[in-house]
Amino acid sequence: MLRTVLLVGTGGFIGSVMRYLLQVFVEKGMSSTFPLGTLIANIAGSFLIGIVFALAEKQIMNAEWRLFMSVGICGGFTTFSAFAFNNFNMIKEHTWNQLLLNVGGNLVLGVFAIYLGIILVKSVF
């Protein structure tokens, strides 16, 4: 159990730092308040989790690696709380078009990215 907690915690640390660096890089020169860094992190994380689960399903990745990658790295990299907070701010600022783009983009593109990750693994293995 301790080993699993350490694997997930280490993955979460890595994923959280990756998300922070991505957001700083993407949003550095932006004049808009649109949370593009969060959107990219959620789509990329969805794609990665699709790959992870497809590899685990094909028994190419063991259970510990699956937990490290999916719960740890992807869980730390993607973020529902930032997504919800960004949406709350858009409601408060009455930026309805950005709100719809953010909600739709995260949900639709996130599910599509998982599908693409699975298709990629199935085409390679």
pLDDT at 69: 94
Q: What is the pLDDT of residues 72-101, one digit of tens each?
A: 999 999 988 889 989 999 999 999 999 999
Residue 92 three-state SS:
helix
pLDDT at 80: 87
CB neighbours of residue 92 within 10 Å: 8
pLDDT at 51: 95
pLDDT at 29: 85
pTM across the whole model: 0.83
pLDDT at 32: 84
Residue 120 structural domain: 2-124
Percent of the chain with pLDDT strictly greater than 90: 84
Q: In which residue ranges of the chain is pLDDT below 50?
A: none
What the block records as the tokens of 123 is 């085409």
Could you give the count of Cα atoms lying within 13 Å of 22 in the half-sphere of its Cβ? 21
Q: In 3-state terms, the chain is what percent helix, strand and coil (to 5)?
A: 85, 0, 15
- What's the total number of domains in the chain? 1
